[in-house]
Amino acid sequence: MPRRKRRYWLMKSEPEVYSIEDLERDGQEPWDGVRNYQARNSMRDEMAVGDLVLFYHSNAKPPGVAGVARVCTAAYPDPTAFDPGSDYYDPKSDPEAPRWWMVDVEFVERFDALVSLDALKAEGDGADAPLAGMLVIRRGQRLSVQAVEAAHFAHVLKIARARTRVRVR
DNA sequence: GCCAACGTTGGC
DNA sequence: GCCAACGTTGGC
């Protein structure tokens, strides 16, 4: 059986809650608390170990991609849904038929400079732009776990690398 | 702090 | 099954 092609993702986190620096420190983190069905479906049905993730800082000044993570577990039921003491408790999620699923992600890299939403938008403006059609730059896009095209993922890395080179020289 | 976008809920 | 009301996200 041919190996499944690696997929690419963008996952949002408010840095005040959990940042790329936190992930760098911790090494690995359970991505619990997602309570949106589309995001749940992505994690439960489409993610696989080894997939790469753009780690996006939302509700930040400025917002943008702060680094890269990697999916490091298969999907499993989100235990916070069963915990009455958790902010993410969902009394309608039954351990026998879990409603909410999650994966763990591990640290890969922290960009030297944030690739800001403005920078993404600047490269996504126009039909032939490198990031044209990227979901995160669309106005009103709230989905916290988004699929990213391989070419878009590569281009975001290219932006980050270009900045590093300038900074380091 | 405002508010556009949009997902969810619940009445019917 | 429609849709108005409501709640949340998240940029600005």
- Which nucleotide is nearest to A36 if distance is taken from CA to C1'? B7
**What would the 3-class secondary structure string for chain A be?**
CCCCCCCEEEEEECCCCCCHHHHHHHCEEECCCCCCHHHHHHHHHHCCCCCEEEEEECCCCCCEEEEEEEECCCCEECHHHHCCCCCCCCCCCECCECCCEECEEEEEEEEEEEEEHHHHHHCCCCCCCCCCCCHHHCCCCCCCEEEECHHHHHHHHHHHHHHHHHHHC
Closest nt to residue A90, judged CA to C1': B8
Q: Which residue is nearest to nucleotide B5 (CA to C1')?
A: A140
pLDDT at A1: 65
**Count of CB atoms situated within 10 Å of the CB of A155:** 20
Who's near A5: CB < 8 A, 6+ residues apart? none
What pLDDT score does A93 carry? 82
The residue that leads in pLDDT, A126 or A69, is A69
**Cα→Cα distances A51→A100, A102, A104, A151, A161, Å:** 20, 14, 11, 14, 20
Report chain B positions within 7 A of protein CB atoms: 4-8
pLDDT 10s digits, A95-144: 888 999 999 999 999 999 999 999 999 999 888 899 999 999 998 889 99
A124 touches strand C (CB under 7 A): no
A164 C-beta less than 7 Å away from strand B: no
* Strand C neighbours among A 133-152, CB < 7 A: 142-144
- Cα A2 to Cα A129: distance, rounded to the nearest angstrom: 33
Q: Which residues 8 to 47 of A reach strand B, CB within 7 A?
A: 36-38
Pairing of strands A52-57, A8-13: parallel
Residues of A 90-119 whose CB lies less than 7 Å from any atom of strand C: 117-118
Scanning every strand, the nucleotide with its C1' closest to A143's CA turns out to be C9
Residue with tokens 């509700």: A59
Indicate the pLDDT class of residue A169, thresholds 50, 70 and 90: very low
Nearest to A32 by CA among A68, A86, A70, A69: A86
User: In angstroms, how far is CA A5 from the centroid of its own chain?
Assistant: 18
- For the structural domain made of A8-168, what CATH number should be given? 3.10.590.10
